């Protein structure tokens, strides 16, 4: 999944995330906060709750007990590193990268570094 050593980094058009996302969007390694509490929480592990359907169990860095949260509950995303793979709009070249979608938005369109 490497690009053929482009001369410049790609230009990526992103769409800003809403202020709150459902908890189901969270992955291990993400950081988020509850709407009423700005304390950042770092997720070590995320999995469906085995007792209650529609709930997630999140292991939080520094917390002994997992957090049980409804999948639809709104959380404030702080850091959501994600990989993307998009085709260049001009030449069809496939480019991949990693981006914090909480800070920079979700990648939608890409112009590769060959233009």
51 CB neighbour count, 10 Å cutoff: 8
Which tokens sit at 74?
């709104």
- Taking CB under 5 A as the rule, does residue 75 contact Zn ion? no
Candidate ranges 13-21, 52-60, 67-75, 104-112; the one touching Zn ion (CB under 5 A):
104-112
102 and 80 Cβ atoms separated by less than 8 Å = yes
| 89/14 Cα distance (integer angstroms) | 14
- Taking CB under 5 A as the rule, does residue 90 contact Zn ion? yes
- Taking CB under 5 A as the rule, does residue 94 contact Zn ion? no
| 43/58 Cα distance (integer angstroms) | 6
- Taking CB under 5 A as the rule, does residue 110 contact Zn ion? no
Cβ closest to Zn ion, residue 6 vs residue 29: 6
- Taking CB under 5 A as the rule, does residue 112 contact Zn ion? yes
Point out which residues bind Zn ion (CB under 5 A). 88, 90-91, 93, 112, 114
């Amino acid at each position: 999944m490497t690009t053929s050593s482009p001369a410049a980094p790609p230009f990526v058009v992103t769409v800003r995330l809403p202020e709150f996302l459902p908890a189901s969007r969270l992955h291990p390694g993400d950081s988020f906060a509850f709407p009423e509490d700005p304390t950042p929480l770092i997720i070590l592990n995320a999995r469906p709750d085995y007792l209650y359907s529609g709930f997630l169990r999140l292991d939080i860095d520094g917390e002994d007990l997992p957090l049980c949260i409804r999948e639809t509950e709104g959380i404030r995303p702080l850091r959501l590193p994600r990989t993307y793979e998009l085709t260049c709009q001009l030449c069809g070249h496939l480019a991949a990268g990693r981006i914090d979608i909480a800070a920079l938005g979700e990648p939608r369109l890409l112009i590769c570094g060959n233009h």
